[in-house]
Structure 1
Amino acid sequence: MWITLDRKSKIPFYIQIKEQIKKMIQEGLLTEGEQLPTERELSETLNISRNTVSTAYEELKREHIIDSSPGRGTFVALNNKGMNIKIPQDKIEKYGTMIEKIIEEALQEDLTPDEILAICKDKVKKRKKLLKKTKVAFIECNYEQLSYFSNRLELGIGINVHPFLLDDIYKNIPAFLRQLNDIDLVVTTFFHIPEVEKIIGGKKQVLAISLDPQIESMVRIARLPEGSKVALVCISDRFAEGVKKSLENVNITGINLKYTTTKDMKKLQKFIKDVDAIIVSPGRKRDVEVLVK
Structure 2
Amino acid sequence: MNLDRKSGVPYYIQLKEQIRRRITQGVWTAGTKLPTERELSESLSLSRNTVSQAYKELESEGILSSVRGRGTFVEDTLLIMQQEGRKEKVLRIVDVAMEEAVGLGFTIDDFVSFVHVRGMEKKALLSRRKVVFIVDNPEQLSEAHWNLGPGVSLLPFLLSELQGSPRVQERLAGMDMAVTGENNLAEVKVLLDKVGIPILGISLQPKLETIVRIAKLTVGRELALVCESYQFAEIVKLALKQAGLRPTFKTLVQPNEDNLRKVLLECGAVIVAPKFRRRVEKVLPEHMECIEFRFEPDAGSLNLLRGTLLELKEEKI
Q: 1:249 to 1:98 in 2, by over 3 A?
A: closer
Q: 1:211 to 1:102 in 2, by over 3 A?
A: closer
The C-alpha deviation readout for 1:160-216, integer Å capped at 9, x for no partner, is 2232111222341x1122123222221100121122122123644321112221244
Partner of 1:206: 199
Q: 1:135 to 1:101 in 2, by over 3 A?
A: same
Partner of 1:30: none
Once the two structures are superposed, the pairs formed by residues 1-293 of structure 1 within 5 Å of their partners are 78-79=49-50, 81=52, 84-86=56-58, 87=61, 88=63, 89-90=80-81, 92-98=83-89, 111=108, 116=112, 121-149=116-144, 151-152=145-146, 158-172=151-165, 174-201=166-193, 203-204=195-196, 205-222=198-215, 227-253=220-246, 255-262=247-254, 264-290=256-282, 291=284
- Uncovered stretches (5+) of structure 2, i.e. residues with no partner: 1-36, 38-47, 64-79, 288-317
Task: Report how many residues are paired.
Answer: 212
C-alpha contact 1:85 1:156 (8 A) present in aligned 2: no
C-alpha contact 2:127 2:149 (8 A) present in aligned 1: no
SS for the counterpart of 2:127 is helix
Q: 1:121 to 1:221 in 2, by over 3 A?
A: same
Partner of 1:42: none
Task: Provide the identity percentage.
Answer: 30
Q: Could you tell me which amino acid in structure 2 is paired with residue 131 of structure 1? A: L
- Give the CA deviation at 1:220: 4.4
Q: 1:156 to 1:241 in 2, by over 3 A?
A: farther
C-alpha contact 1:187 1:209 (8 A) present in aligned 2: yes
Q: 1:124 to 1:229 in 2, by over 3 A?
A: farther
- In structure 1, C-alpha distance between the alignment counterparts of 2:117 and 2:221, rounded to whole Å: 54
- In structure 2, C-alpha distance between the alignment counterparts of 1:239 and 1:198, rounded to whole Å: 23
Partner of 1:25: none
- In structure 2, C-alpha distance between the alignment counterparts of 1:90 and 1:195, rounded to whole Å: 38
- Give the CA deviation at 1:259: 2.0
Q: CA RMSD in A?
A: 3.7
C-alpha contact 2:170 2:195 (8 A) present in aligned 1: no
Q: 1:269 to 1:127 in 2, by over 3 A?
A: farther
- In structure 2, C-alpha distance between the alignment counterparts of 1:228 and 1:221, rounded to whole Å: 12
Using the size of structure 1 for normalisation, the TM-score is 0.58
SS for the counterpart of 2:204 is coil
C-alpha contact 1:137 1:187 (8 A) present in aligned 2: yes
C-alpha contact 1:131 1:160 (8 A) present in aligned 2: no
Q: Could you tell me which amino acid in structure 2 is paired with residue 199 of structure 1? A: L
- In structure 2, C-alpha distance between the alignment counterparts of 1:101 and 1:200, rounded to whole Å: 41
Q: 1:156 to 1:268 in 2, by over 3 A?
A: farther
- Uncovered stretches (5+) of structure 1, i.e. residues with no partner: 1-63, 65-76
Q: Could you tell me which amino acid in structure 2 is paired with residue 140 of structure 1? A: V
- Give the CA deviation at 1:287: 3.0
Q: Could you tell me which amino acid in structure 2 is paired with residue 278 of structure 1? A: V
Q: Could you tell me which amino acid in structure 2 is paired with residue 136 of structure 1? A: V
Using the size of structure 2 for normalisation, the TM-score is 0.54
- In structure 2, C-alpha distance between the alignment counterparts of 1:283 and 1:272, rounded to whole Å: 17
- In structure 2, C-alpha distance between the alignment counterparts of 1:193 and 1:182, rounded to whole Å: 20
SS for the counterpart of 2:157 is strand
- Give the CA deviation at 1:225: 6.0
